[in-house]
Structures are given as C-alpha cells and as structure tokens.
C-alpha cells in the first residue's frame, strides 16, 4: 500500500465509536468548567516559535526533540502548539487582557509533539485544560484541583486516580534549592547523562525529571526541596492541603514531583493511575506565577492544569458515553414509501427525536438493520400509508404494531 494513503505514524482516525467517548469527555469537562465560571478560549493551532521555545526552554525535551517547527512562505518561524498554556498566556498579553483580571479560561483541542508513539500517546493528541489568571491565593490552587477532581468523577474514573501533590516553594526557596542541586550534581558530574550535563548549566531541576537510569540513582540521594522551603512557602502549601482536605479530595504528598520550568512555583500536582502502564499521568498542573512576565507581559499570577483527552477516553467506561435516548427507524416499504420517508424523518427529528432513515434496500433488510441498531420503534410507510396519510408503528420492545394517522403521529409519545 502506498504511504500516501496510510495514516502518518503517531496519528489515528477517530471513528464514531471513539468519537462518542471523546465527545462525552469534552462535554463533561466543558460543563464542569462552566459551573466553576471558566469561559472557553480557543487559540490558534500554531504560534510564532518563540511563544513555545521561550516558555518551555530550549533545553527541554519538548523543544529540543518534539516540537513541529516550520518556516512559512513569508519566512516566519512557526510551531504547531505542543501544549495549551503558552498560547493562553500569549493571548492574554496580545489581547491586552490585564485590565480584566481575574480571568478563568477553559480550552480543548489538538496538540502536536514528535515523540515515540505508545499507549495513550500520539503525535497529534488532544488536550483540555483550565487556566486561572490573576489570583495569588492558595485557594485558587484548591479550586483548580477541585475542578479537575469533579471532571474525573463525572467521567467515572476518579476511583482509579490518585492525586499526587508537592510544592516548589517561592522564588527565594527555589533559588536556594537550585544552588544546593548545582553543588550536588557538580560533584557527580561525571555520572550524569549528556542531557543532564546540559541541564546542569541551564536548569538543574530538570535533572530530577530525567528518565536515565544513572540519573535516577543520583536523584535518589539529591538534596530535598522540603529542606530549603522558607516559611512563606510552607504556609502557602499548608493552606492548599487544608483546602483539599475540606473538600474531601484524597491525596498524597510526593516530594519527588517537580516541574523543571523556571516559571513554576508553589503548588504542582498530578492525577495518576495504574491502569495505563508506565505512562500513568492523566492530568497535571501547577502554579506558574512567572510565566506571563517571562513572555513580556505584566507580572500576573497563574495556576492551571491540562489533561490528555486520549488517555481520559481510554479510561472512561464506554457505557457512560452512550446516551439513553429514543431511536426511531423510518422504513420505506416501497418506492412511494421511501420518497415520503424523508418528510416523516424530518418531522420526527424536528421534535428532537433521533431518527434513522433507511433510503434503499428491501423492507426485511431494513427491519433487520433497525433491530441491530437497537431502534425503539419502526415507522413503516408504503404506498397505502402514503395514500391514506397514515403510518404503521412497530414497538420493537413489545412487538406491538398499529396504524395511526400522520396527524396523530405529531403528538405520539415515543418511550424509551
């Protein structure tokens, strides 16, 4: 088969049965976000490369190995978005929204990373997220976590997920911790991987995220961030934990949970599961008070999270996505009936009732298809029904069949 008519590696086609669950997850997230006062924002699928390269860092794996970068016809360097937060922050700056703070945004859409395809991870993947800008209170962190928890409950997977949470402290605490890490890793520099040697110069916290086995052994004995937190950082984290406890959200503190990017501070968290193998994170977030300022905007506190829809959909019980709604099959028994079936189907759909119109084939085959689709009713039209302005109704559940007028059909109560 020619490569031109195959899917590109790391992509997939969302067929109706997959899209059904995807739509359920997206709708559940959208509904939950609205309850919390988050408005929907949609940013472009590509941005100037600087938006992502500057925020994610040139030494990060995402930028150095995974972004889809290209130059357009006018010579502009552009990047397909690998995540959503940077685009929201760019929109905040370029649209001049600082006068409207605080702001709460929800987004959903495709993202792109060139990475090794694996279970629940694709090169074109789908992500939804929430961003809360303008609040420096730990209660904003609590509310964001609460929204995430409500979403996981709504799609039926909260029982399989664990909230892991940590603090990175404020800028002062992070600076002290950075110095301690530099001293420690410099003393063991000969044992670091090539990537981590580069990170040591740029941002040593990223070494703690390393997947290299040698780096992991060094990380086990690295200085603890908790030992370098000042009182402000400890108090902030204590208030976040107290808020989560008030809401009854179970959690565990994970001292090894970090975010290597400079703009992260204070709270970081992940919801993880054991049901996806090694790639167990289904939703992750944290506080990023330095992001917008780093991009050239005004100093603006922020906190948020993002979740992969692909992974959420893999975990979501499929039966939750199936709507318990009436399905009416429209069966034309002959040519006259098929021609009239279009009008009958339209009348049924105009009442907000789902109708499947079989436009060709023998009546017996149509009835078999309707039964296979679990239709609740069949409306049968032949030449006689068209002439007499009637329709034959068959209830698949009871087997009852009767003929009523087209006028009576307008008020007929279809029951599930």
For the sheet containing 401-405, what is the strand order? 354-358, 327-332, 377-381, 390-395, 401-405
Assess if CATH 3.40.50.2300 describes domain 8-170+245-319: no
What residue ranges do the domains of the chain occupy?
Answer: 8-170+245-319, 171-229, 324-409
Q: Taking the chain, what is the end-to-end CA distance rounded to the nearest angstrom? A: 46
Q: Which residues contact 393 (CB under 8 A, 6 or more apart)?
A: 377, 378, 379, 380, 401, 402, 403, 404, 409, 412
> For the chain, what percentages of helix, strand and coil (3-state, to nearest 5) are there?
45, 25, 35
The pLDDT of residue 5:
84
The pLDDT of residue 352:
94
Number of neighbours of residue 158 by Cβ within 10 angstroms:
18
Assess if CATH 3.40.50.800 describes domain 324-409: yes
Which residues are bridge partners to 132 per DSSP?
Answer: 104, 303
| Tokens (6 digits) for 364 | 């017996």
The pLDDT of residue 209:
76
The pLDDT of residue 329:
96
Q: Judging by beta carbons within 10 Å of its beta carbon (0-12, 13-18, 19+), is residue 50 exposed, middle or buried?
A: middle
Please tell me whether residue 23 adopts helix, strand or coil conformation: helix
Q: Which residues of the chain have pLDDT under 50?
A: 1, 59
pLDDT tens digits for range 106-154: 999 999 998 776 666 789 999 999 999 999 999 999 999 999 999 999 9
Give the span between the Cα atoms of 413 and 416, in whole angstroms.
Answer: 10
Structure-token match 């979403």, residue found: 151
Give the span between the Cα atoms of 181 and 179, in whole angstroms.
Answer: 5
């Amino acid at each position: 088969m020619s490569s031109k008519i195959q899917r590109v590696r790391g992509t997939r086609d969302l067929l109706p049965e997959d899209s059904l669950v995807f739509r359920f997850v997206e709708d559940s997230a959208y509904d939950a976000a609205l309850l919390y006062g988050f408005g929907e924002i949609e940013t472009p699928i590509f941005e100037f490369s600087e938006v992502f390269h500057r925020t994610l860092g040139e030494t990060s794996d995402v930028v150095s190995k995974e972004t889809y970068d290209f130059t357009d016809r006018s010579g502009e360097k552009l990047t397909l978005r690998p995540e959503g937060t940077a685009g929201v922050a760019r929109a905040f700056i370029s649209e001049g929204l600082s006068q409207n703070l605080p702001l709460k945004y929800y987004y959903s859409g495709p993202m792109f990373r060139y990475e090794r395809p694996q279970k629940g991870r694709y090169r074109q993947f789908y992500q939804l997220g929430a961003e809360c800008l303008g609040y420096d209170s730990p209660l904003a962190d609590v509310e964001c976590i609460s929204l995430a928890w409500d979403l996981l409950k709504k799609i039926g997977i909260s029982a399989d997920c664990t909230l892991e949470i940590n603090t990175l402290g404020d800028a002062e605490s992070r600076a002290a911790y950075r110095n301690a890490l530099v001293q420690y890793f410099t003393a063991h520099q000969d044992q670091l991987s090539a990537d981590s040697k580069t990170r040591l110069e740029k941002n040593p916290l990223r070494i703690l995220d390393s997947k290299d086995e040698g780096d992991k052994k060094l990380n086990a004995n690295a200085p603890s961030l908790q030992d370098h937190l000042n009182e402000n950082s400890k108090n902030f984290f204590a208030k976040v934990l107290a808020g989560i406890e008030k809401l009854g959200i179970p959690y565990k503190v994970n001292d090894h949970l970090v975010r290597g990017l400079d703009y992260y501070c204070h709270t970081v968290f992940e919801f993880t599961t054991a049901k996806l193998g090694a790639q167990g994170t289904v939703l992750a977030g944290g506080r990023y008070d330095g992001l917008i300022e780093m991009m050239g905007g005004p100093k603006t506190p922020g906190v948020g999270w993002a979740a992969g829809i692909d992974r959420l959909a893999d975990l979501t019980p499929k039966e939750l996505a199936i709507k318990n709604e009436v399905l009416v099959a429209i069966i034309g028994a002959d040519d006259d009936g098929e021609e009239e079936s279009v009008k009958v189907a339209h009348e049924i759909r105009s009442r907000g009732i789902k109708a499947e119109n079989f436009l060709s084939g023998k009546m017996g085959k149509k009835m078999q298809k309707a039964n296979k689709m679990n239709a609740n009713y069949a409306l049968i039209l032949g030449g006689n029904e068209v002439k007499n302005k009637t329709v034959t109704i068959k209830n698949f559940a009871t087997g009852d069949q009767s003929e009523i007028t087209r006028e009576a059909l307008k008020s007929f109560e279809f029951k599930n």
